[in-house]
């Protein structure tokens, strides 16, 4: 086996389910600015799909002027765009909701970050054109299976409104961290929708269909919907933008430390604008201190932050972190509970003991 640094990294993910494969990245591997592909979280609804990528073609059809089938060579020949970007599952931190909700009980690691490179979807749509009645674009994945609520088979399919599809930063991705996109993350082509929770970033795209109405597939109209009520579906809204959020990475929750001076650090991210401030509290949120932002605050990427803590007094402490973004969104004290447990972004909280 080739003895490159890429091969010496041992996979170490926290397994939630092996088939389909659902694993999260331990939070101490979310440090740095990019996550190695072997440590990237994995979220699948079905078995991995089987198809022959050497004959891969991408059809774009429906409400377009000129339906077209693109080969990979054609797609590679368009100007490419690379973006450092957080991919966060909308179920990240679901296990923290109280009362508990059904669904994969993700901790704080259903998210990772790296450099995604591909072609702006917009460039391909300029070739096909869009009819005036075009409303959404459906992306159908190669993977399929029966959902737990019915015997019917479905592909993993989702749509984007035309405006989001035409955002120059919405890309059809074929590289991750300067290497070909790994199969488990959608090779040969996956959608990357910056600023939105990762369910929108469809892997293994089989075809794209432009439609003139709202898409009602189950991964759009049943799942990935906020249901604020237990008894009925009133006031439901679709899951889209990533909520402002932060995670404390060091010290670890429940760690026991000697008295001394410690660096408290972590990450903060948002789907709206950039992170402007991260604050930390060591006294259950009574007083807050401003953290230093260690990495530069970029659109779509997490920012690393730190605070030097002089822990000279023995005792038990609750440490909390709170991020604010450039749209003025602030992490709330209490999570916004919803029946399927999406979008958890309450102030992060850990406990440590100083002895």
Q: Which is nearer to ligand MTE, 164 or 322 (CB)?
A: 164
Instruction: Determine the Cα–Cα distance for residues 227 and 232; give it in Å rounded to an integer.
Output: 8
Q: What are the tokens at 1? A: 């086996």
Can you tell me which of 16, 117, 185, 207 binds ligand MTE, judged by CB under 6 A? Answer: 185
Q: Rounded to the nearest whole angstrom, what is the least distance from the CB of residue 142 to ligand MTE in the complex?
A: 7
Residues of span 137-166 touching ligand MTE by CB under 6 A: 141, 143, 156
If DSSP codes are grouped into helix, strand and coil, which group holds residue 292? strand
Q: Which is nearer to ligand MTE, 89 or 323 (CB)?
A: 89
Number of residues located near ligand MTE, criterion CB under 6 A:
18
Contact 251, 350 (CB under 8 A): yes
Interaction of residue 265 with ligand MTE, rule CB under 6 A: no
Nearer of residues 40 and 174 to ligand MTE, judged by Cβ: 40
Contact of 187 with 53, CB cutoff 8 Å: yes
Q: How far is CA 276 from CA 38, 86, 290, 345, in A?
A: 31, 17, 11, 16
Nearest to 101 by CA among 228, 217, 222: 228
Q: Which is nearer to ligand MTE, 204 or 317 (CB)?
A: 204
Neighbours of 273 (CB within 10 A): 15
271-143-152 Cα angle (round to 5)? 105
Closest to ligand MTE by CB, 219 vs 317, is 219
Least separation in angstroms between residue 309's CB and ligand MTE is 33
Site membership for ligand MTE, residue 94 (CB under 6 A): no
Nearest-angstrom CA–CA distance, 107 and 201:
21
Cα distance between residue 353 and residue 355, in whole Å: 6
SS3 120: strand
- State the nearest-atom distance from the C-beta of 272 to ligand MTE, in Å: 19
**291 is a contact residue toward ligand MTE (CB under 6 A):** no
DSSP reduced 3-state for 204: coil
Separation CA 26–CA 269 (nearest Å): 17
Nearer to ligand MTE, 107 or 141 (CB): 141
* Neighbour tally for 109: CB within 10 Å: 23
Report d(CA 116, CA 121) in Å as an integer.
14
Confirm or reject binding of residue 267 to ligand MTE (CB under 6 A).
Answer: no
Q: 225 vs 257, which CB is nearer to ligand MTE?
A: 225
Distance of closest approach, residue 199 Cβ to ligand MTE, in angstroms? 4
By beta-carbon proximity to ligand MTE, the closer residue of 44 and 270 is: 44
Structure tokens at 60: 């774009």
Give the residues across from 255 on adjacent strands: 352
Between 181 and 264, whose beta carbon lies closer to ligand MTE?
181
Q: Is 226 in the site for ligand MTE (CB under 6 A)?
A: no
> Considering only residues 56, 63, 70, 204, which one is a binding residue for ligand MTE as defined by CB under 6 A?
204
207 binds ligand MTE (CB under 6 A): no
Report the nearest approach of ligand MTE to the CB of residue 72 (Å). 17
Sketch the per residue contact string, 31 through 70, with ligand MTE: x for CB under 6 A, - otherwise. Answer: ---------xxxxxx-------------------------
Transcribe 140-164 into DSSP letters.
EEEEEEE-TT-S-EEEEEEEEEHHH
Pick the stretch among 199-207, 230-238, 281-289, 304-312 that binds ligand MTE (CB under 6 A).
199-207
CB of 111 to ligand MTE, least distance (A): 9
* Contact predicate 210/60, CB 8 Å: yes
CB of residue 46 to ligand MTE, shortest distance in Å: 6
Which residues lie near ligand MTE (CB under 6 A)?
40-45, 87, 89, 141, 143, 156, 185, 198-199, 201-204
């Amino acid at each position: 086996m080739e003895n490159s640094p890429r091969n010496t990294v041992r996979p170490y993910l926290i397994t939630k389910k092996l088939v389909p494969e659902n694993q999260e990245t331990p939070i101490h591997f979310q440090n740095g600015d990019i996550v190695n592909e072997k440590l990237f979280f994995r979220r699948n609804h079905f078995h991995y799909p089987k198809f022959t990528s050497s004959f891969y073609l991408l059809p774009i059809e429906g409400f377009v002027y000129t339906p077209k089938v693109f080969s990979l060579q054609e797609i590679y020949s368009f100007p490419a765009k690379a973006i450092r970007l957080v991919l966060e599952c909308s179920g990240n931190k679901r296990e923290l909701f109280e009362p508990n909700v059904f669904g994969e009980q993700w901790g704080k690691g259903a998210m990772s970050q790296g450099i995604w490179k591909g072609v702006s979807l917009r460039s391909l749509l300029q070739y096909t054109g869009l009819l005036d009645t075009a409303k959404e674009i459906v992306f159908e994945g190669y993977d399929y299976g029966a959902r737990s609520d019915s015997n019917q088979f479905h592909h993993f399919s989702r749509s984007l409104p035309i405006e989001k599809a035409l955002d120059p930063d919405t890309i059809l991705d074929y590289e991750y961290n300067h290497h070909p996109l790994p199969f488990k993350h959608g090779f040969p082509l996956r959608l990357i929708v910056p600023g939105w929770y990762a369910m929108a970033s469809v892997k293994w795209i089989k075809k794209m269909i432009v439609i003139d109405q709202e898409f009602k597939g189950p991964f759009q109209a049943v799942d990935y919907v906020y249901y604020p009520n237990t008894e009925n579906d009133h006031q439901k809204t679709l899951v889209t933008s990533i909520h402002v959020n932060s995670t404390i990475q060091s010290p670890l929750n429940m760690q026991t430390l000697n008295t001394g001076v410690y660096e408290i650090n972590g990450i903060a991210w948002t789907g709206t604008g950039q992170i402007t401030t991260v604050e930390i509290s060591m006294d259950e949120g009574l007083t807050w201190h401003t953290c230093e932002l260690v990495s530069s605050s970029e659109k779509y990427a997490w920012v690393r932050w730190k605070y030097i803590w002089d822990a000279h007094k023995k005792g038990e402490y609750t440490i909390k972190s709170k991020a604010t973004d450039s749209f003025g969104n602030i992490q709330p004290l209490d999570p916004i509970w919803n029946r399927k447990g999406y979008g958890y972004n309450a102030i992060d909280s850990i406990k440590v003991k100083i002895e």
